[in-house]
């Protein structure tokens, strides 16, 4: 698949709820996707392998020197440009295009990082103490970073390479565009439920209405009828039936909603066609 990146390396652990979508989106911009698993205790590694992503156990720190050294010592060929992307709880999938755009600029090393309290110029910050936001590097850049000492700064990188070190104080906030259709979250949710014939709308709302009406009417039956006849028995049976039907409709709505979520998850994991 043609694109600005030859490989995307995802770095993280315990991200089983996000790993499939991350890999699918990464494959849209790169021909190869690799996971550096930093010690997952859930099914992150298994899910990654099921969708065709190579998994490597990585136990080093997230410094550019440590990551690139591990990459060179692996059995993979590092040709073209590679994006090393740590996945944290603050990272969002909408930030991926920003890193891809930086890869289009042809840098040998493009390092976006964060630092804590530091007095002095940025070029005196030790790279090993920084927090990686993303690292884009070619084969030459990987070899250059892997050869640096832990005390090295950006000034120690070879001047023969095209490099850029960018300090980021906070995660990048993308501007969100809103229209009249998306201004109201409730209206957007209601429109989606109508279009998709959502079970919470088809069964849930009628079920809630019937259950509430039946419950309210059942409280007045004792005082409404003073004698037992065909009319009182009929109203009582209708009220009980209304309450039970409402309760059953709400249960059906919840069951169909949960089953739909499970089916969608299985389809995403195994790349099944949506209509099957």
Dihedral angle of Cα 2, 23, 144, 67, to the nearest 10 degrees: -170
Give the H/E segment covering residue 22.
Answer: helix 19-27
Looking at residue 13, what DSSP letter applies?
A: S
pTM for the model: 0.61
Q: What is the pLDDT along the chain (276 residues), one digit of tens a residue?
A: 334 689 999 999 999 989 999 999 999 999 899 999 999 999 999 999 999 999 999 998 889 999 999 999 988 888 889 999 999 888 888 888 888 888 888 899 999 998 765 555 666 788 988 989 999 999 999 999 999 998 999 899 999 999 999 887 655 555 555 454 444 565 665 565 556 566 666 677 777 888 888 777 776 665 555 565 666 677 777 877 888 888 888 888 788 777 777 767 776 666 655 444
Helix axes 205-218, 230-270, angle to 10 degrees: 150
Q: Are 14 and 41 contacting, i.e. CB atoms less than 8 angstroms apart? A: yes
What number of other Cβ atoms are within 10 A of residue 210's Cβ? 20
List of residues 6+ apart from 44 with CB closer than 8 A:
12, 13, 14, 15, 16, 19, 35, 37
CATH numeric code, 7-167: 3.90.550
Starting at the edge strand found earlier in the chain, the sheet holding 54-57 runs: 54-57, 33-37, 7-12, 82-86, 131-137, 109-114, 163-167
What are the Cα distances from residue 137, in Å, to 124, 161, 203, 226?
A: 21, 10, 53, 86
User: Is 265 strand, coil or helix?
Assistant: helix
Domain boundaries, the chain: 7-167, 180-270
Say if residues 35 and 106 touch (Cβ distance below 8 Å). Answer: no
Cβ burial 105-133 (10 Å sphere, 16+ → b, else e): eebbbbbbbeeeeeeeeeeebbbbebebb
Q: What is the pLDDT of residue 232?
A: 67
């Amino acid at each position: 698949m043609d694109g600005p990146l030859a490989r995307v390396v995802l770095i993280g652990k315990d991200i089983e709820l996000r790993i499939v979508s991350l890999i699918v989106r990464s494959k849209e911009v790169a021909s190869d996707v690799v996971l550096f698993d930093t010690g997952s205790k859930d099914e992150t590694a298994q899910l990654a392998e099921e969708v065709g992503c190579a998994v490597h156990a990585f136990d080093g720190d997230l410094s550019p020197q440590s990551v690139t050294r591990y990459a060179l010592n692996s059995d993979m060929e590092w040709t073209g440009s590679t994006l090393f992307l740590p996945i944290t709880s603050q990272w969002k999938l909408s930030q991926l295009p920003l890193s891809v755009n930086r890869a289009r600029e042809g840098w040998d090393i493009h390092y976006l990082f964060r630092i804590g309290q530091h007095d002095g110029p940025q070029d005196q910050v030790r790279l090993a103490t920084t927090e990686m936001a993303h690292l884009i590097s070619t084969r030459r850049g990987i070899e250059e970073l892997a050869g640096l000492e832990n005390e090295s700064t950006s000034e120690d990188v070879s001047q023969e390479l095209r490099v850029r070190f960018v300090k980021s104080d906070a995660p990048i906030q993308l501007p969100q565009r809103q229209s009249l259709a998306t201004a109201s979250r409730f209206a957007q949710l209601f429109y989606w439920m109508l279009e998709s014939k959502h079970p919470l709308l088809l069964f849930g709302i009628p079920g809630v209405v019937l259950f509430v009406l039946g419950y309210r009417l059942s409280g007045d039956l004792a005082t409404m009828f003073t004698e037992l006849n065909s009319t009182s028995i009929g109203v009582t049976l209708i009220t009980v039936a209304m309450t039970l039907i409402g309760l059953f409709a709400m249960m059906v709505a919840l069951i169909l909603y949960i089953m739909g979520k499970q089916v969608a998850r299985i389809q995403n994991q195994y790349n099944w066609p949506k209509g099957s």
